[in-house]
Homo-oligomer: A and B are copies of this chain.
Amino acid sequence: MMDIEEALALIQKGADEVLVLDELRERLKLQRPLLIKLGCDPTAADIHLGHTVVLNKLRQFQKLGHKVQFLIGDFTAMIGDPTGRNVTRKPLEREEIAANARTYEEQVLKILDPDKTEVVFNSSWLDELGTTGVIKLAAKYTVARMLERDDFKKRYSSNESIAVHEFLYPLMQGYDSVAMQADVELGGTDQKFNLLVGRELQKHYGQTPQIVITMPLLEGLDGVQKMSKSLNNYIGITEPAKEIFGKVMSISDDLMWRYFNLVSDKTPKEIEALKTKVAAGLNPRDVKFLLAEEIITRFHSRQAAQEAKESFIAQFQKGVMPQDIPEIAIQIDMEIPLPNLLKQAGLVPSVTEGGRMIEAGAVRIDGEKIADKATKIAAGTQHVYQVGKRKFAKIQLDAET
């Protein structure tokens, strides 16, 4: 086992807050496997790099000898939206939830140690609470403190309705920590309030309160918005290796360091060493290679990472790939025909010439040849466009607002 102070430094790496660090130190001194809780929705999971920020932290705990419990919030999922207003939140059947949980488990086990990972379902204790249990639970928290939660506060002050049962959900989520006797709970920064409710409730139920660790929300490829599938700025962990390689290579140098900090396994020291080298003249692109390789090695294999790298180099670097590809941001409506885009980016003299180059097989996006001149590109994307051997541009397409 690692020295406790070293372990604390590792746990704090990339974390937004550790509440309370001293308590975590004391807990680590117990020299027993701690129980680390992560709550998950039992909706169909399609895990992307954003999710792995928390998962990596869990893996670090596992490497330190601790045990992870995934808490599947099946109880409320089976209820759906009881107000009936949100038709997209239909009640899930027990079988759907079980299937989703399995898919989820398969994916997270690409990151986590299966021997130190357990899946639990909160229906097993929330059902049992019953009317009396819910009343007693609800008695442990005040309306005023509930209304301090950011989203409740905003909705209340702007006269958007909050149904009374919404106050019960954070309490039940907190009660999960009581039932599980969690030592540590992890979550995104947006979960801080709920995680702290768990801490508080454990005190009420006579337990030593859990340590709460919040992790930052990872920005997507655009470097601005939270990584999400719906914004199409994500790297899915089951995407093909070449796809992941290209996406990683497309991020800005600043964002690269953020990713190193949040998704890489490198220690803070190793990352500092890389920064020093870049400051001394190393091409950031080569450091980005390391990041891409590490990510692909984790989700596919070392060999797949190697192949993806070679393929990328073959397409972009061999010959004349410039040291610095110019970055361009263009505002469009919803989408734009590729020949028009090439013209606007100055890669071709005219739209007609753009179409001609496509038909001649001389246009590539992220190294992939594009043969159809009717191809349209959507707003909200960022790709490397190549015309012939020498013309490159990394184009960010933003939607006009």
Residues on A facing B (Cβ under 8 Å):
75-76, 78-79, 81-83, 126-144, 146-147, 152, 156, 159, 161-168, 171
Assess whether A143 is in contact with B167, with CB atoms less than 8 Å apart: yes
Please pick, from B126, B146, B165, the residue contacting A139 in the complex, using a CB distance under 8 A. Answer: B165
Please pick, from B78, B129, B136, B152, the residue contacting A82 in the complex, using a CB distance under 8 A. Answer: B136
A147 to B143, CA, bound (A): 10
Q: Which residues of B contact A140 (CB under 8 A)?
A: 82-83, 163-164
A130 to B133, CA, bound (A): 9
Sample of 8 A–B contacts (CB below 8 Å): A83-B140, A126-B131, A129-B131, A131-B131, A137-B165, A143-B143, A143-B161, A143-B166
Assess whether B144 is in contact with A164, with CB atoms less than 8 Å apart: no
Q: Which residues of B contact A82 (CB under 8 A)?
A: 135-136, 138-140
Q: Which residues of B contact A171 (CB under 8 A)?
A: 164
Smallest CB-CB separation from A133: which chain B residue?
A: B131
A82 to B138, CA, bound (A): 9
Assess whether A163 is in contact with B134, with CB atoms less than 8 Å apart: no
Assess whether A131 is in contact with B130, with CB atoms less than 8 Å apart: yes
Q: Which residues of B contact A141 (CB under 8 A)?
A: 163-164
Q: Which residues of B contact A164 (CB under 8 A)?
A: 138-143, 146, 167-168, 171
Q: Which residues of B contact A126 (CB under 8 A)?
A: 131
New A-B contacts (4) at CB < 8 Å, excluding given A138-B164, A164-B171: A81-B139, A82-B136, A134-B168, A141-B164
A159 to B166, CA, bound (A): 22
> What's the minimum C-beta distance from A393 to chain B, rounded to whole angstroms?
51
Which label, helix, strand, loop or mixed, suits the secondary structure of the A interface? helix
Most chain B CB neighbours (cut-off 10 Å) among A142, A146, A159: A142
Known: A130-B130, A143-B143, A159-B144. A165 touches B135 (CB 8 A): yes
Q: Which residues of B contact A156 (CB under 8 A)?
A: 143-144
Assess whether A163 is in contact with B142, with CB atoms less than 8 Å apart: yes
Please pick, from B131, B133, B142, B166, the residue contacting A162 in the complex, using a CB distance under 8 A. Answer: B142
The copy count of this chain in the complex is 2
Known: A134-B131, A134-B134. A143 touches B162 (CB 8 A): yes
A128 to B131, CA, bound (A): 8
Q: Which residues of B contact A139 (CB under 8 A)?
A: 81-83, 163-165
Q: Which residues of B contact A144 (CB under 8 A)?
A: 156, 159, 161-162
A142 to B78, CA, bound (A): 22
Smallest CB-CB separation from A127: which chain B residue?
A: B131
Shortest 3 CB-CB contacts between residues of A and residues of B:
A82-B139, A138-B165, A138-B164
> What's the minimum C-beta distance from A93 to chain B, rounded to whole angstroms?
15
A23 to B139, CA, bound (A): 37
> What's the minimum C-beta distance from A204 to chain B, rounded to whole angstroms?
10
A139 to B168, CA, bound (A): 10
Q: Which residues of B contact A147 (CB under 8 A)?
A: 143
A129 to B133, CA, bound (A): 12
Q: Which residues of B contact A78 (CB under 8 A)?
A: 132
> What's the minimum C-beta distance from A81 to chain B, rounded to whole angstroms?
8
Smallest CB-CB separation from A126: which chain B residue?
A: B131
Please pick, from B128, B146, B159, B165, the residue contacting A136 in the complex, using a CB distance under 8 A. Answer: B165
> What's the minimum C-beta distance from A126 to chain B, rounded to whole angstroms?
5
Please pick, from B135, B138, B166, the residue contacting A76 in the complex, using a CB distance under 8 A. Answer: B135
Assess whether A168 is in contact with B138, with CB atoms less than 8 Å apart: yes
A125 to B379, CA, bound (A): 55
Q: Which residues of B contact A143 (CB under 8 A)?
A: 143, 147, 152, 156, 161-164, 166-167
A79 to B147, CA, bound (A): 26
A142 to B167, CA, bound (A): 10
Known: A131-B75, A131-B129. A163 touches B138 (CB 8 A): yes
